[in-house]
Structure formats: structure tokens, C-alpha cells
Amino acid sequence: MELAERIGSQIAGAIANSRLFSELARTENAMRVSEQKYRTLVNESPDLIFVSRIDDFRLTEVNDRACDHYGYTREEFLAMEIFDVEVEPPLKDQVRSLYDSTPVGLVIEVYGTNKKRDGTTFPVHVRFSKLDDEFAIANVRDITDQRAAEEAQRRMTEETSVMAEIGKIVNSSLDMDEVYARFAVEVGKLIQFDRIVIRIIGEDQDTINLSYHAGLEVPGRQSNEASKMAGRNEIEKVLRTREPSLIQVDDESELGEFQSLVAPFTLGLRSFLNVPLFSKDNIIGVLLIRSLEPHAYTQRHVDLAVRVGSQIAGAIENAQLYAERTKLAEENRVLAEIGTIASSSLNMDEIYDRLMEEVGKPIPLDRISVNILDAANEVANPTYIAGTDVAGRRQGDIVQYVGTLTEEVARKRSPMMLDVDSELDLKDRLPGLLPAFCAGLRSFLAVPLIERNNVLGVLHIRSKDHNVYTQQHLDLAERIGNQIAGAIANAELYKQTRQAEEAERQRSLELDGLLKVSNILAQPGSFQDKASQVMGELARIAQAESAIFRVPDEGGLRRIGAKGP
């Protein structure tokens, strides 16, 4: 029996060893497969891959691409440190500090220069990370082609010379006065000129505004001039044909239809190059280049002028857009502030001054007022006024609104803009404006204050200057009026609500008092005993300091009940 047990133990050990050996064999096979997959991935990577020890910086693994690129065998690489392939290796202490401070998995990118076995060098982009506390991996890319492309691009940029500089100038600032001067200097390097002009088409499309000029002065054509388009034949032709034009003459008689060039010709100018300035297929102005030299320009100059014109046109458009957006942003800011002020209090007297101060920021004014309508009595009550004093139109005045701008705006339920030159313009149509005209006011904006389809009143904005208001001002005033109308309506609703609440409170107080009086009178006893209690309740209901009940008797009136003195 003992022998059998010993034999059984040996057999069991053999079985266990067999299983252990099988498990080890499977593990080793899995590791070989995993290692093979790892090597395949590393060798198929487009990068040059290096694995090194962290403690001594020695290489422990490289991929085939690295061997081919650097010219070293794998065995040679494995006998090297990471610094051996660098042209100017950093100090080991610096690299050690980098290794120690970098957490596992964090990728650090650096640029440097590596060298091959034959001594040739090349720029590299290195992505470095720690695999664990023992090993680090570096993915290296030869960026020679990238650097060559960058260098080629740099040279190309330099070779574009003046045209590139013009591009930078026109995009460097939204201050066109600053841009124009530098632009003209660069244009002069491409196209010789004795006078250069940029004119922008006015909003009315009938005027051409002189935006910039440099060089020879032409009398009557100053920088602040806005001239009519009609008669400027050389400009009209460019705008009509949408093509550049070149006019070069030796004698005044050759000017023909271009008689507007007689004045500059008299000053000695002989060559005239005119180019349209386009913005999104719309002509926004013209670039005019002039020379004292006869036949100074060729088609090459025309083509160059078209190219520089396209660049300055973009700058002009951007500056115009910026100015419009800046103005719109300010208007939106004012509207937002008005909304904040309007919602800050339900007492309009507390916020009117702040509201109207904001209105005056985007809209020029000398007087502003809010008139609340009393339609039943056909009168308007000026509830707020600031600015120029107008007789009969002061706060607290009751104004009959027949024949006034208030009546017309309220009746039409739409804003109005008006400019007045003389009293005759008002006598028949709007006699109610005569006091304002006599006070020196000439430009008028008026917008209805409408809330829930009801015209509550009219906002009036006025100026002493002629033609100061535009449609943009009127539109903005209407938006402001909508906010003010809401504030006025809310304030009135709050006032009515408070009045209703007070009335209800008073009614409840009276009912409660009457109930208490009824209960007092229903108690046993004589009225004389209850009279003082009844008077106390009556005083409380009436919010009085005292209440006395007297009855007539032989001596007059006898007090039988009282509350207070």
C-alpha cells in the first residue's frame, strides 16, 4: 500500500510537470507571435524608430527603416547611445532631467539635426515618449523635403517682391489713411506715376468721392471733395464698360470726349491709366494713375494696375465692412444697455435720464422728448424732455396734438423723418412744429411707441443741423422706441396693479372692520357700552387717529363712545 502511494505521487508529479511544460510552451509561442507582430508594426512604420534604455541612453531596438536610412546595421546601432546620431547632442544631464520630469505616455516633440554613417546630416522631427520607467521610444522623421519645400516657398515669397508687399500693406490695417500712403509708395515701384488717385462711389451712386490722392496737385480736386459723376467721362467709361482704360495724348485736341482731363493736361499730365475697383463683382470705385511722360504706360502696366487695384479694393471693402460692423456693434450695445436700463425699474421717472443718455450716443440730437397720448381728450403730455427748450412744450404742459408731428405719427403708426427749411413748410401741414422751429430745431425724427398694437405715445428726437438724419438713424430710433414702449407699458401696468392691490387691501380692511362692528353690536349689553369699541374699529378702517360718536340731548351733543382724543 505504501509503495502504491509513492508510485502514485510520482505519476501525479509527472502529470503536473507535463501540464506546466505545455502551458510554458503556449506562453512562449504567444510571446513570439506578439513580438513578431510588434516587429512587423515597427518595421512597417514610415518613421525611423528607436527604443533606448532610460538609465544609460543605450539603444535596445531600431527598425529596418532606420538602419537603411542611417546606414548602420542593427548590431552597430545596438552598440550606440542615442547621442551618437545627433550632430550637436544636448548635455546628458539635460536629457536625464527631461526623462525624469516626463510622465509615461506623454509625447514631446523636438526638432534637431541627425547624421548618417557617411557623415551627411539632415533635419529631423522627433516625437519622444517613455514606454515605462525603463525604456523610451523615439519616432524620427527626416524633414529634408519639408524644409526644402519651406525654403522654396520662402524664396518664392521674396521673389514676389512688391506685389507681395502690397498684399501685406492692404491687409495690415483697417485705417485706410495709413494703408493708402504705404500702398502708393509700393505702386510707384511697379508703375511710375506723378499723380495717383483713389475715388469711391457714393451711396447715392451719383457722386464719386475722392478718398486718396498723392503727387501732383490738381486745383479743385481736394481730398475732401465729393464730385458729381456726370461729366467725368474717363471715369464714366470705366464704370460703364467695367474695363480699365488707357488714355495717352500729346495734344489737348486728342482728348476728344474726355474733356474732364483738360485741367490735368494743362498741368502737364499726358498719360492717364484708369482701373475699376471691384468688390464681389460690384464696382466700388476707381484707381487713377497719371504721368507727365507721354505714352508712359503699356499693357503690362495696365495688367499690373488691375492686380494692385484688386488688392486695394479688398482693403477698401474690409474697411467699409469694419466701419459698418463697428457702428452696428455700438448700436447693438446701446440697445442692450437701453434694455437693461428699461428693465431695472418700473418707475419711469427713475430711468428716463439714463435711457435718453444712451439714445444720444448713436443718434445726434439737441432735444429729445417722450409724449404720452391722451386720445380721449386729443392731447399729448410731455412726460420727459431734455435739451433745447421749446416754449409751450415743457414737461407738465398739456399740448393739443391736432396739427402736430405727434398726431401724424400716431395716426399713421409709423416713424417719420423731416427736415425743415422755413416756417412756410410747416404752417399748413404741421403748425404744431412751429415752436420747435422757432427754437432753432431743423431736423426731426419721430417714432410711435406701440405696445400690443396700442400707440402709447411718440418719441421725438431733434437736431439744430439740417439733413443730419438718415434712414439708418430712423430705423435705429424705431428699435429704441420699441424698447421704451415696453418699459412704459410695464410701468403703467405695474402702477395699475399696485392701485388695484391697494384698492383690494382697503376693501378687505373695510369688510373686516364691518364684520367686527357687527360682532360687537351682536353681543349682549347696551349700545353705550359698545360704542367705544365700534369707534375703535371705525378709526382703524378709516386709518384715522380718532373717532367719536355723539347723540343729541338737552345740553347739546353728548359723547357716548370714542377712540382717541
Q: CB neighbours of 418 closer than 8 A, spacing ≥ 6?
A: 405, 430, 433, 443, 444, 446
**Mean pLDDT of all residues in 396-411:** 86
Q: What is the pLDDT of residue 98?
A: 84
Average pLDDT over residues 418-433: 87
Residue range 45-148 in CATH 3.30.450.20: yes
- Give the CA distances from residue 164 to residues 20, 154, 157, 203, in Å, rounded to whole numbers and listed in that order: 76, 12, 7, 31
- Segment 267-292 shows an average pLDDT of 93
Domain boundaries, the chain: 1-40, 45-148, 162-324, 343-496, 523-563
Mean pLDDT of the chain: 84
What pLDDT does 332 receive?
Answer: 86
pLDDT of 41 reads: 47
Report which of 279, 295, 272, 275 is spatially closest to residue 287, judged by C-alpha positions.
275
Q: What confidence score (pLDDT) does residue 142 get?
A: 95
- What pLDDT, on the 0 to 100 scale, is given for residue 33? 47
Nearest one of 248, 252, 314 to 287, comparing CA atoms: 314
**Cα–Cα distance list, 96 to 69, 88, 254 (Å):** 27, 16, 84
The set of cell numbers assigned to 341 is 436700463
What angle is formed at CA 350 by the lines to CA 327 and CA 332, rounded to 5 degrees? 15
The residues, ordered by sequence, that sit 6+ positions from 306 with a Cβ below 8 Å of its Cβ are 244, 275
User: Mean pLDDT over residues 298-313, rounded?
Assistant: 90
Q: Are 462 and 436 in contact (CB under 8 A)?
A: yes
Q: Tell me which amino acid residue 411 is.
A: R
Q: What is the DSSP letter of 90?
A: P
Q: How is domain 343-496 classified at the CATH fold level?
A: Beta-Lactamase (3.30.450)
Confidence (pLDDT) at 5: 62
pLDDT at 268: 93
Angle at 9 between CA 6 and CA 14, to 5 degrees: 130
CATH of domain 162-324: 3.30.450.40
What is the arithmetic mean of pLDDT over 429-445? 91
